[in-house]
Amino acid sequence: MDKNINIKVKVWRQNGPKEKGHFETYTLENISQGSSFLEMLDILNEKLINEGKNPVVFDHDCREGICGMCSLYINGHPHGPDEDITTCQLHMRKFDDGDTIVVEPWRSAGFPIIKDLMVDRTAFDKIIQAGGYVSVNTGGVPDANAIPIPRDKAEAAMDAAACIGCGACVAACKNGSAMLFVSAKVSQLALLPQGRIEAARRAKSMVAKMDELGFGNCTNTGACEAECPKNISISNIARLNREFLKAKFKD
């Protein structure tokens, strides 16, 4: 049964990308365990505003685990201590009375801090822009049932396509690698006949862009897969490596 708890939250505050940040600790009383983690932060912000202080800045939007906007590093885990969820789906019943909860932004060279807990993830957009698509214009495409696709391929493509681009994989990785994110898109499209045509070009250009933007290398620690809220498998990284090597051999 959900009850009310008293907690401390230790939050990273940083005024801007170039400024020095620090932890600030706040005390919150009577937080319902039925509330979500972000609702707890709403309550904290309401309190700060009423005290004439600046509220904590954090990214969030859909609050139902699909937009990928929320991005908090809670008690040492991206999206917090629960499995297979984003921060917005984390509920206070995962915490106990008297807990001190540490809240940090994603920390990675690829994601500079904008303010407090908000980071800049435009690098992910740039990687997709480099080739994460099938090059078709609007119109003039064949009938949707013209190309049958084996069900298992379609399902595997969907598994990879479930990535929400939140960046938890990068935040979890000690190298700050974006391989899980890149491999999910490369895999989704490489598994489908529509995407096969450009598979080589796509793998090369997305990997090149990832390297250019300062993301680290993959050393197969598996931390990304463990922390991914959507269970994206590291087998996608193996598939990306295959596609990449195949493309390079062809050169």
Partner 1 sequence: MNQINSKIPEGPLEEKWSNYKSHQKLVNPANKRRLDIIVVGTGLAGASAAASLGELGFNVLNFCIQDSPRRAHSIAAQGGINAAKNYQNDGDSIYRLFYDTIKGGDYRAREANVYRLAEVSNNIIDQCVAQGVPFAREYGGLLANRSFGGAQVSRTFYARGQTGQQLLLGAYSALSRAVHKKQVKLYTRYEMVELVIVDGRARGIIARNLVTGKLERFAAHAVVVATGGYGNTFFLSTNAMTSNGSAIWQCYKKGAYFANPCMAQIHPTCIPVHGEFQSKLTLMSESLRNDGRIWVPKKKEDAEAIRQGKLKPSQIKEEDRDYYLERRYPAFGNLVPRDVASRAAKERCDAGYGVGTTGLAVYLDFAEAIQRLGKDVVEARYGNLFQMYEKIVDENPYETPMMIYPAIHYTMGGIWVDYELMTSIPGLFAIGEANFSDHGANRLGASALMQGLADGYFVLPYTIQNYLADQIKVPHFKTDTPEFDQAEKEINARIDRLMSIQGQHSVDSIHKKLGHIMWGFVGMGRDADGLRKAIGELKELKKEFWSDVRIPGEKSTLNVELEKALRLADFIEIGELMAHDALDRQESCGGHFRTEYQTPEGEALRDDEHFSYVSCWEYEGEDKDPAMHKEPLDYEFVVRQQRNYKS
Q: What is the DSSP letter of 143?
A: P
Closest listed residue to residue 67, CA positions, set 133, 166, 156, 139:
166
- Identified binder of partner 1 from the candidate list 11, 60, 72, 233, rule CB under 8 A: 60
Q: At what angle do helices 179-190 and 199-212 cross, to 10 degrees?
A: 170
Contact range with partner 1 by CB under 8 A, out of 19-27, 54-62, 95-103, 235-243: 54-62
CB atoms < 10 A from the CB of 138, how many? 5
Q: Is residue 226 within the footprint of partner 1 (CB under 8 A)?
A: no
Q: Is the CB of 78 or the CB of 195 nearer to partner 1?
A: 195
Contact range with partner 1 by CB under 8 A, out of 29-37, 170-178, 216-224, 235-243: 29-37
Q: What is the DSSP letter of 218?
A: -
Residues of span 157-196 touching partner 1 by CB under 8 A:
157-158, 161-162, 164-165, 188-189, 192, 194-195
Q: Is residue 6 within the footprint of partner 1 (CB under 8 A)?
A: no
Q: Is the CB of 48 or the CB of 247 nearer to partner 1?
A: 48
| Closest distance of CB 219 from partner 1, Å | 27
Q: Is residue 243 within the footprint of partner 1 (CB under 8 A)?
A: no
Closest listed residue to residue 92, CA positions, set 168, 45, 41:
41
3-state per-residue secondary structure call for 25-74: EEEEEEEECCCEHHHHHHHHHHHHHHCCCCCCCCCCCCCCCCCCCCCEEE
Contact range with partner 1 by CB under 8 A, out of 20-28, 81-89, 171-179, 233-241: 81-89
Q: Is residue 98 within the footprint of partner 1 (CB under 8 A)?
A: no
Q: Is the CB of 49 or the CB of 220 nearer to partner 1?
A: 49
Q: Is the CB of 37 or the CB of 244 nearer to partner 1?
A: 37
d(CA 206, CA 184): 11
d(CA 209, CA 75): 31
**Contact letters for partner 1, residues 99-128 (x by CB under 8 A):** ---------------xx--x-xxx-xx--x
Phi, psi of 102 (to 5 degrees): -95, 125
